[in-house]
Amino acid sequence: MKTEVGKWNPFKFLRKSSGTEERGSQAAETPAPRHRLTDFPDVSRLFSIEPWRAMGGLLQEPFASFPGLDRWFGDYSSARFQPRIDVVDDGNVLRVTAELPGMERNEVQTTIEDGALVLRGEKRQDAETEENGCYRLERAYGAFMRSVPLPDGLDFDHVDARFANGVLTMRFPKIDRPSSSIRKIDIQ
């Protein structure tokens, strides 16, 4: 099966070639695709026997049918919190940086298990406001665990781990001898 990659280019109209006019006339004759009601499951549920059940799910998670939206805007809910991690080779040390906004040092645990750095933590948020007779109390909770494989030749006995302003930075010195499989890292 021969695939034309050029037809997937969204900026196809900017290209001018002799074959463009021929392909354009063929595309104009092709009818536009019609969408079936089953292509949109939330809409089809509205016309089912129990439309109120579909409305309940739609009201609880209105954008569940659009799975790509969290990639556009980011999901900042604490239930889905995953820290962003950078691993950088700085010559004689390997630097691992984790962004943990809104967290304290005692809420994060770091260990080395089977040659991998494991970060565990719990993020709890309590927001309470009272203003002009309106009272608002919100609670959010989320736990995370991230595992970062580490290369051989790192000194796990002399790890420099610091936590400041929601950023955890760990520096692993490089050595030539192998190390044991499980270690606990103290954060300063």
**What is the band of 42 on the pLDDT scale with cuts at 50, 70, 90?**
low
Residues 100, 167 contacting (CB under 8 angstroms): yes
How many other C-beta atoms lie within 10 A of the C-beta of residue 117? 25
Task: Determine the average pLDDT of the residues in 168-174.
Answer: 94
Sign of the C-alpha dihedral computed for residues 34, 36, 39 and 41 taken in this order: positive
Model-level pTM? 0.51
Share of the chain above pLDDT 90, in %: 20
Please write the tens of the pLDDT for every residue from 137-167. 888 777 889 999 998 888 888 999 999 999 9
Distance separating alpha carbons of residues 174 and 154, to the nearest angstrom: 4
**Domains in the chain, start-ordered, CATH in brackets?**
68-125+141-177 (2.60.40.790)
Distance separating alpha carbons of residues 56 and 59, to the nearest angstrom: 5
